[in-house]
Structure 1
């Protein structure tokens, strides 16, 4: 196995084609987060982004995007934002993990959404987690009709709220591919407010993430697009979603809604219409991303499994990094896995969020709407990431 390292901006058009070809060969690699376009977009904003190209007989058969930090500490490309990670390869290709890390100059490689078909990394996995998806094929009369059969009460309630919103506010319409950049800014404002209300880190307070999303929004490619979808009632936007899509997979990434209209469950309505529109536009699967949340339980048709862990080679930096990061991850996963711990932690975060937005000095001031509950067993809101 021959391994060469490239900057993402140095890749030739032929390498891009071979990367996309490897994605097309295997359905598990069809996710847009595994595309060269997403890796290139991350490389524009984060230092150390690279791709290792694996060759057999001179032919490129595998692509390993990663970010290399100080002391050879490596991370999956876009770690913390990417909901799907892998060494994308042709069927039947395998590799030696330590040889790969050595070629990349890495002492450790950290991942948290690694796809299942990555057996050389298996011994480095520290946990497996469900990642729900919506299959848009094979539903006969359509996804919403499938939901009517599998979750009749909640589907009936959500559709009734959609009708009531139309009567109260104005005609409900859904735009799958909204090209107005002002609506992207509105989505970011809603999402930032939600992060603050719920005590989470505000991703859109980081300029590089704003620029990343803006760049993906303007990416129009045969193989990759950033898709902004908006639910309107009358002349008001009430919910929106932005996520990347490949030819066949749309990744649920940043959903949000206007809390003024929360009584109508606009996030759930948006997800129903998003699934319908995605199906009509050639999407075969919506990836809802890792996370135990009730609205995902309702919407999913099945679950994938993703892994987190640390691939290492014998090196003092690798041992130190794992000793530092491992307990943090373990504590977080323990809290998320046990309702008795998760719910008090969630209440604490919401209290912090209330203080952030209560108008105290240095806060963002009051916000409309009550804080969302974000525990896994909360009533579905479909507005959390």
Structure 2
């Protein structure tokens, strides 16, 4: 059997037929690497409800649906995976990771699809990608106690630090309440307030600057099915929320997404204490894995016990955007070749920040 897609249609998500929807959900159910909530059709539906530029490339092999690739259709010609800057994981939704779809896509997509978090297990993502990195996973299949016992053996210092922070919290007094699945809108208001203040204080790009991102968060909070649900977790001290985390879950995976806390209590690390309680309560919600996403954060490395590879890259047709991207790569290569020291990384960082800013604004 050929591993090449033979044709492609680009549709709005709301125009997918019942048959295509059945294929999509079947591919997700049959493919363990698509267990993340990012690959659920219901997530694409929610994205389509908050952004009019949500599209999906439907690939066929000899007339039979073979795969789906959801993305955001940019006005600039630079297209991005579903969710834009909020999308930690993406890739082809198919039951065959060897399916070659990029050449077929280029014939229909006038521009460049930029991905940053593509599944390296998929042949065409790997062939069009570079800079592989780990995306961190907490595997709780053996239960909460077994997971933390394993972390104790591997990261004894981190566990001692966690216990010390808990003692500091106890010394402050006050009633502590954890809610693992908090449905309150006011709690999400608090989380967004903390998170946006954190972005402002650190100079990081505020992914909630665009109203679509805030609308997505509130839509997810109210969305509850066995395939997809938003999950807000909170920690209160004497009735005041001091830490919160907002993520989403599928049947088997909780995606760890947006943690934030009151900086006035940073000495007790309330976010870390809430994280511990989330690992304790996650099994009651169904998932047996927590995906932490990529990054060099010490927290992710210390508390994960598994990982999978993701990649950056692009799939380009002959167009002005692809020529612009090629020019940018040339500047980056020149900077790397010159004896510039740390500033040699500036062109790439500037490009990635610009790309994130335009993605946040849906440009």
Instruction: Give TM class, smaller chain.
Output: 0.7 to 0.9
State the Cα distance separating 1:42 from its structure 2 match.
2.2
Q: Are the counterparts in 2 of residues 37 and 224 from structure 1 also a CA contact under 8 Å?
A: yes
Aligned counterpart for 1:15 among listed residues 5, 20, 23:
20
State the Cα distance separating 1:47 from its structure 2 match.
3.6
Residues in 1 aligned to 2:139 and 2:116: alpha-carbon distance in whole angstroms? 23
Residues in 2 aligned to 1:190 and 1:328: alpha-carbon distance in whole angstroms? 35
Q: Are the counterparts in 2 of residues 251 and 286 from structure 1 also a CA contact under 8 Å?
A: yes
Quick one: structure 1 residues 32 and 329, their matched pair in 2 at CA, closer, same or farther if it must change by over 3 Å?
farther
| Residues 65-84 of structure 1: pairs in structure 2 closer than 5 A | 65-70=70-75, 72-84=77-89
Aligned counterpart for 2:257 among listed residues 249, 253, 260:
253
1:258-287 residue CA offsets vs partner (Å, 9 max, x unmatched): 111111111111111111111332212111
Q: Which moved more, 1:310-319 or 1:262-271?
A: 310-319
Quick one: structure 1 residues 182 and 257, their matched pair in 2 at CA, closer, same or farther if it must change by over 3 Å?
same
Residues in 2 aligned to 1:14 and 1:241: alpha-carbon distance in whole angstroms? 36
Tell me the equivalent position of 1:196: 200
Aligned counterpart for 1:62 among listed residues 63, 67, 84:
67
Q: Are the counterparts in 2 of residues 98 and 312 from structure 1 also a CA contact under 8 Å?
A: no
State the Cα distance separating 1:300 from its structure 2 match.
0.8
- Unmatched tracts of structure 2, length 5 or more: 1-5, 337-341, 350-363
Number of residue equivalences: 337
Q: Are the counterparts in 1 of residues 97 and 123 from structure 2 also a CA contact under 8 Å?
A: no
What secondary structure is seen at the aligned counterpart in 2 of 1:112? Answer: strand
Q: Are the counterparts in 2 of residues 166 and 234 from structure 1 also a CA contact under 8 Å?
A: no
Q: Are the counterparts in 2 of residues 170 and 235 from structure 1 also a CA contact under 8 Å?
A: no
Tell me the equivalent position of 2:221: 217
Tell me the equivalent position of 2:49: 44
Aligned counterpart for 1:115 among listed residues 112, 119, 123:
119
Residues in 1 aligned to 2:174 and 2:333: alpha-carbon distance in whole angstroms? 46
Aligned counterpart for 1:3 among listed residues 3, 8, 31:
8
State the Cα distance separating 1:331 from its structure 2 match.
8.6
Quick one: structure 1 residues 324 and 187, their matched pair in 2 at CA, closer, same or farther if it must change by over 3 Å?
same
Q: TM-score, normalised by structure 2?
A: 0.84
Aligned counterpart for 2:36 among listed residues 31, 47, 53:
31
Tell me the equivalent position of 1:238: 242
| Residues 231-310 of structure 1: pairs in structure 2 closer than 5 A | 231-310=235-314
Structure 1 runs of 4+ aligned residues shifted over 6 Å read: 328-332
Tell me the equivalent position of 2:355: none
Q: Are the counterparts in 1 of residues 114 and 314 from structure 2 also a CA contact under 8 Å?
A: yes
Quick one: structure 1 residues 35 and 325, their matched pair in 2 at CA, closer, same or farther if it must change by over 3 Å?
farther
Aligned counterpart for 2:133 among listed residues 119, 129, 138:
129
State the Cα distance separating 1:4 from its structure 2 match.
2.2
